[in-house]
Chains A and B, each alone.
Chain A
Amino acid sequence: MVVDKKREEKAVIYPCFGGSSSAGMITALAAIEAVKEVGLDKASIGCLAILPTYGERMQPQIDKVAKVITVDGCPMGCAMKTLMDAGLKTTRKILLTRDAGLDNKPLEARMERQKDLMQHISEEDIRRAKHIIIKAVLE
């Protein structure tokens, strides 16, 4: 299939996008920044939410991808576990609290002090996470 051929050299990144904590939000923002920087011919963001429902259908396509990278914000490791439960290979598992030294801030605990989402998200943390993702894509 032409479609499969186009996927063979790529990395697919699965951020957890756990939006109720700062680290989860950063996975989503850093993943998109990484794709902006390396280009869609090198990497794209995978559809994590399709896997619990249609994981078996996705398996032949994902197995052809050169690199499958999960990016989790916190040690719950939901992106990594979702791929595992779907029976898919993961070539690199990034965990931002461990690999980028991020503090995992549950946003509901802080929302009264600061209700603006972006006050809880550090540009420097996004940049650091982006670099780790890009390194995993290119290495």
Chain B
Amino acid sequence: MAEEKHWEEGMKTHENVVFSCYGGLSNTGITSALACLEAVKEVGLEKVAIGCLGALPLGVKPVIGKTKAAKKVITVDGCPFECAKKTVEQSGFTPTKSIVLVRDIGMKKKALHEDIGEGIKGVMEYISDDEVKQAKELIIKTILEE
């Protein structure tokens, strides 16, 4: 199918960009992704989009350009490894705000492989709706605050 033209400098873009670690091997990483998704749903695409974190170390030009053009660059990490923050920094950007869910909303990290063979549950049973909501609210507050 046809692809639209890649973004170039001078073209419109999202006002802010949020980078989620989406570290799917733990509850905290999955919560970061779901909370970012919910935040974008709530505030709308003109205000914020989820950035392509995987593209930053590869120097993909439209992604680098859209990140440069953003008023705020927000990283959302689940755990203290802070992979999203480190990736953004190593690509030459300074996050306006770094959110770490274990620190900022008091989440407890659970590595999901630990229960294999010992009554492992469905993936969403390790995810708390309340924690997704808390994380979403913190992300939205960070986007909207002056």
Check if A and B associate: yes
Q: How far is the CA of A29 from the CA of B32 in the complex (A)?
A: 13
Does B107 reach chain A (CB closer than 8 Å)? no
Q: How far is the CA of A74 from the CA of B6 in the complex (A)?
A: 12
Chain A residues with CB under 8 A of B113: 3, 6-7, 10, 40, 44
Given A54-B81, A103-B2, do A47 and B20 touch, yes or no (CB 8 Å)? no
Give the one of B5, B25, B62, B124 with max A CB within 10 A: B25
Chain A residues with CB under 8 A of B54: 16-18, 48-49, 78-79, 82
Closest to B81 in A: A50
Q: Is the Cβ of A32 less than 8 Å from the Cβ of B123?
A: yes
Q: How large is the interface on A (under 10, 10 to 19, 20 to 34, 35 or more residues)?
A: 35 or more
Q: Is the Cβ of A53 less than 8 Å from the Cβ of B87?
A: yes
Q: Is the Cβ of A115 less than 8 Å from the Cβ of B87?
A: no
Q: Is the Cβ of A45 less than 8 Å from the Cβ of B49?
A: no
Q: How far is the CA of A14 from the CA of B87 in the complex (A)?
A: 16
Q: Is the Cβ of A44 less than 8 Å from the Cβ of B112?
A: yes
Does A99 reach chain B (CB closer than 8 Å)? no
Give residues 80-137 of A contacting B (CB, 8 Å): 81-82, 85, 97, 101-112, 114-118, 120
Q: Is the Cβ of A76 less than 8 Å from the Cβ of B60?
A: yes
Q: Is the Cβ of A25 less than 8 Å from the Cβ of B44?
A: no
Does B36 reach chain A (CB closer than 8 Å)? yes
Q: How far is the CA of A24 from the CA of B64 in the complex (A)?
A: 16
Chain B residues with CB under 8 A of A7: 113, 116
Q: How large is the interface on B (under 10, 10 to 19, 20 to 34, 35 or more residues)?
A: 35 or more
Q: Is the Cβ of A78 less than 8 Å from the Cβ of B58?
A: yes
Closest to A50 in B: B83
Given A44-B25, A118-B41, do A111 and B117 touch, yes or no (CB 8 Å)? no
Q: Is the Cβ of A48 less than 8 Å from the Cβ of B53?
A: yes
Q: Is the Cβ of B6 less than 8 Å from the Cβ of A116?
A: no
B35-60 interface bits toward A, Cβ cutoff 8 Å, 1 = contact, 0 = none: 01100110011100111111101101
Sampled A-B contacts (18; CB under 8 Å)? A6-B116, A16-B52, A20-B63, A44-B24, A45-B29, A46-B25, A48-B22, A53-B87, A79-B54, A103-B3, A104-B1, A104-B3, A108-B7, A108-B11, A108-B45, A111-B12, A115-B46, A117-B44
B residues adjacent to A (C-beta < 8 A):
1-7, 11-14, 17, 20-26, 29-30, 33, 36-37, 40-41, 44-46, 49-55, 57-58, 60, 62-63, 66, 81, 83-84, 86-87, 90, 112-117, 120-124
Given contacts A48-B53, A97-B1, A106-B62, 11 further A-B contacts (CB under 8 A): A15-B22, A18-B52, A20-B51, A41-B117, A45-B22, A76-B52, A81-B58, A102-B1, A106-B5, A115-B44, A116-B45
